[in-house]
Homo-oligomer: A and B are copies of this chain.
Amino acid sequence: MSEMSVMKALNLAMFEEMVADEKVICIGEDLGKQGGCWGTFTGLQEKFGENRVLEFPILEAGYTLFSVGAALGGYRPIVEFMFADFVTLGFEGIVDIAAKIRFNSGGVDSCPVTFVLPQGGGGKSGAHHSQSVEAWFANVPGLKIVAPTTPADIRAYYRAAIRDDDPTLFIYQRATMGLTGEVPDVLDEVPSLAKAGKIVKTGADLTVVAYHRALLNAMAAAAQVEEETGKTIEIIDPRVLIPFDKEIVFDSVKKTGRLMVAHEAPERGGFGAQILSWVVENCMKELKAAPVRVAGVNSIIPFGDLEKYLYPSVEDMKAGILKALK
């Protein structure tokens, strides 16, 4: 075990997979001497060479499509969008091309590309550098969406995403880049993307499902509420959104009878609605109260410190928990 930041965990995961499989390549902007805009590629080009860490011009549409071609040619590309927001430019390559490769090949050719999307607030850089994008892709069959939070999970699930033979969006929260945590020195087994849900904390009175910064805020809020009310709250980090680990959530809700879902993306049309729907469809009888969503404001993200008004705070989480407990 060693203490490690999210940034280092991202770097380690790529390093390990590049060692394990020489077909793993990296594609994106400024991946060479700069080691990527976030430093997460530090040392990789030096170690593995320019033919494994490919520095591209600023043409996200082009290199998204390029990555699919390279995948068909036997490679396993990791494609970084510097900010998740810029995936708008890769939308055709991901949604129309990558997601449909396997189907149109009759199940013969897979498309093992990992699209890396550093997303969300915290950088104070406004409307084009702070969005959360998971729901934009959640209605596109053929894709998988991986969204871990802690350094250890990031390391493990990033490796899992790279290894997975299907096109996968690996989404992490940029604001938590400096978050540290214990990470095992060796990962005994790279996990499957199936059944990836994790009970972060057990509890009896409410099930909270949250990821990324919303998970951290929900944990802080839950601690306060437990302290103040004596109720206990079960917190689940799904870690993977598609395929979603429904059973772990259903089991928990069947126990607690209550649900709160939280994420940083805007509430309307967010992935929380899908989680809530699954729970209601399957645990209606056990639900003691209406489930609650806590999410971002349905608005555009302002520049600078003002962004804080858009994202759900610890207080918002607390209010949501109290509402769900009613």
Q: Residues on A close to B: CB < 8 A?
A: 61, 85, 88-89, 91-92, 95-96, 99-100, 103-104, 127-128, 135-142, 242, 265-266, 268-274, 276-277, 280-282, 284, 287, 289-293, 297-300, 302
A70 to chain B, nearest CB (A): 20
CB < 8 Å neighbour of A89 from B92, B141, B268: B92
Which residues of the partner chain B approach A292 to less than 8 Å between Cβ atoms? 281
Q: Pick the residue among B91, B95, B270 that contacts A139 (CB under 8 A).
A: B270
Distance from A210 Cβ to chain B, minimum over Cβ atoms (Å): 16
CA distance A91 to B139 in the complex (A): 15
The 5 closest A-B pairs by CB, nearest first: A138-B269, A284-B290, A103-B300, A139-B269, A135-B139
- Measured in the bound complex, the distance between the Cα atoms of B141 and A297 in whole Å is 9
Cα–Cα distance between A61 and B88 once the two chains are bound (Å): 11
A284 surroundings in chain B (CB, below 8 A): 287, 289-290
Which chain B residue shows the least CB distance to A265? B139
Residue numbers in B under 8 Å from A242 (CB-CB): 268-269
Please tell me if the beta carbons of A139 and B268 are within 8 angstroms of each other in the complex.
Answer: yes
Tell me which residues across on chain B come within 8 A of A100, comparing CB atoms. Answer: 127-128, 300
Bound-complex Cα distance A270 to B292 (A)? 19
Q: Are A298 and B92 in contact (CB under 8 A)?
A: no
Contacts of A99 in B (CB 8 A): 300
What is the CA–CA distance of A268 and B142 in the complex, to the nearest angstrom? Answer: 11
Smallest CB gap from A141: residue in B: B298
Query: CB-CB < 8 A to A302: which residues of B?
Result: 103
Pairwise interchain contact A277-B293, C-beta atoms closer than 8 A = yes
Q: Considering only CB atoms, which chain B residue lies closest to A102 in the complex? A: B300
Q: Give the complex CA separation of A280 and B96 in angstroms.
A: 33
Q: How far is the CA of A302 from the CA of B104 in the complex (A)?
A: 8
Q: Closest residue of chain B to A284, judged by CB? A: B290
Q: Choose one: B95, B271, B287, B289; the contact of A88 (CB below 8 Å).
A: B95
- 7 A-B pairs whose Cβ atoms sit less than 8 Å apart in the complex: A138-B269, A142-B299, A142-B300, A273-B276, A276-B277, A281-B291, A284-B290
| Known A88-B91, A89-B92; 12 more pairs at CB < 8 Å | A61-B61, A88-B92, A100-B128, A136-B137, A139-B266, A139-B268, A139-B269, A141-B299, A142-B299, A268-B274, A281-B293, A284-B289
Q: Could you say which residues of chain B place their CB within 8 Å of the CB of A300?
A: 99-100, 103-104, 141-142
Across-interface contacts of A272 in B (CB, < 8 A) = 277
Question: Most B CB atoms within 10 A — which of A85, A141, A265, A266?
Answer: A141
A97 CB → nearest B CB, Å:
9
Chain B neighbourhood of A141, CB < 8 A: 266, 268, 297-300
Q: A286 to B139, alpha carbons, bound, how many Å?
A: 29
- Residues in B whose Cβ lies below 8 Å from that of A289: 284
Residue among A128, A136, A287 with max Cβ neighbours from chain B (10 Å): A136
